[in-house]
Structure 1
Amino acid sequence: MNIYLLVGIKFILGIMVMILQIHILGKYEFSINTPLNQIQNYVLGGIIGGVIYNTSISIITFLIFILIWSLVVIIVKLLVNIKAVKSLVVGNPVILIKNGKVNVENCAKVGISADQLMLHIRMEGLFSTKEVKSAIMETNGKLTIIDMQSATPKFPIISNGKINRDILEVIGHDEKWLLSSINEQGVENIQDIFLGEYVNGELNLTTYPKII
Structure 2
Amino acid sequence: MKYTRLEIPELILCEPMIHKDNRGFVYESFKKESFNSFVGFDVEFCQDNLLSSDYGVIRALHTNTLEYSQSKLVSVLDGKILDVAVDFRVGSPTYGKSISLELSSQNHKQLFIPRGFLHGFVVLSHKAVVNIKIDRYFAAGESIGVRYDDSLLGIDWKIDKKDSILSIADENLPLFSEVTSAFKYNENYY
Scaled to the shorter chain, the TM-score interval is: under 0.3
Indicate the structure (1 or 2) with the bigger Cα radius of gyration. Answer: 1
Name whichever structure is richer in strand by fraction: 2
After TM superposition, the score normalised by the length of structure 1 is 0.23
